[in-house]
């Protein structure tokens, strides 16, 4: 099984992005599977990602939500992908992990629906998506596991 993860966050360090963090957490059961990850922020990255996607069994989109929608560079990638899918008849199952800064994960619904629509229009199997709210809080909480022991040691040294 060939799995391709596509990270659409424009932040420089993909593993530090909130959508990337949630994607990697939800991908833990896939450890040991043939998985490739790609950034799809710049046009120069699109062709390499598309090349890997054409033979993929599973494609996982990892994206933040901006103004209740997908980032514009991801929409541009999806338009290009639609042309490639029509030419080459992809067979992948599509999953989405989307994060937003609002507390309610339902703010991600439109972004999930956009990728669901792309899947349906191109005869790909949309298998579902995860909309995660409060992602800015996630960005801080995940580091508390690292900071808590350090704080405990510092408090012990001070007292």
Res. 33: pLDDT tops 80: no
How confident is the prediction for the chain on average, in pLDDT?
A: 83
Question: How many CB atoms within 10 Å of residue 100?
Answer: 26
80 contacts 42 by C-beta, under 8 angstroms: no
Helix (H) or strand (E) holding 158: helix 135-158
CA distances from 70 to 106, 120, 123, 153 (A): 14, 17, 21, 43
Among 2-6, 70-74, 149-153, the range scoring the smallest mean pLDDT is 149-153
d(CA 99, CA 23): 10
Helix (H) or strand (E) holding 48: helix 43-53
pLDDT confidence of residue 13: 67
73-113 confidence digits (pLDDT tens): 999 999 999 888 877 778 899 999 888 877 777 888 889 99
Residue in 28, 105, 54, 1 with CA at minimum distance from that of residue 38: 54
d(CA 83, CA 78): 9
Helix (H) or strand (E) holding 83: helix 72-88
99 contacts 134 by C-beta, under 8 angstroms: no
Of 137 and 28, the structure prediction assigns the larger pLDDT to 137
Helix (H) or strand (E) holding 5: strand 2-7
86 contacts 52 by C-beta, under 8 angstroms: no
Q: Compute the half-sphere exposure of residue 144: CA atoms within 13 Å on the CB side of its CA.
A: 5
113-135 confidence digits (pLDDT tens): 999 998 998 889 999 998 888 77
Predicted TM-score of the model (pTM):
0.81
- 16 confidence band (pLDDT: 50, 70, 90): low
Structural domains of the chain, ranges and CATH numbers in brackets: 2-158 (3.40.50.360)
Residue in 96, 111, 102, 95 with CA at minimum distance from that of residue 138: 102
């Amino acid at each position: 099984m060939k799995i391709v993860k596509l990270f659409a966050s424009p932040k420089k360090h993909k593993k530090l992005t909130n959508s990337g963090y949630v994607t990697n957490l939800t991908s833990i059961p896939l450890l040991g599977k043939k998985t490739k990850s790609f950034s799809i922020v710049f046009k120069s990255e699109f062709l390499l990602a598309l090349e890997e996607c054409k033979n993929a069994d599973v494609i996982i989109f990892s994206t933040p939500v901006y103004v209740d929608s997908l980032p514009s560079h991801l929409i541009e990638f999806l338009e290009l992908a639609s042309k490639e899918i029509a030419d080459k008849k992809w067979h992948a199952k599509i999953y989405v992990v989307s994060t937003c800064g609002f507390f309610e994960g339902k703010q991600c619904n439109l972004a999930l629906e956009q990728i669901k629509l792309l899947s349906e229009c191109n005869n790909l199997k949309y298998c579902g998506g995860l909309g995660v709210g409060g992602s800015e809080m996630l960005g801080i909480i995940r580091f508390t596991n690292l900071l808590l022991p350090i704080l405990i040691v510092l408090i012990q040294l001070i007292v």
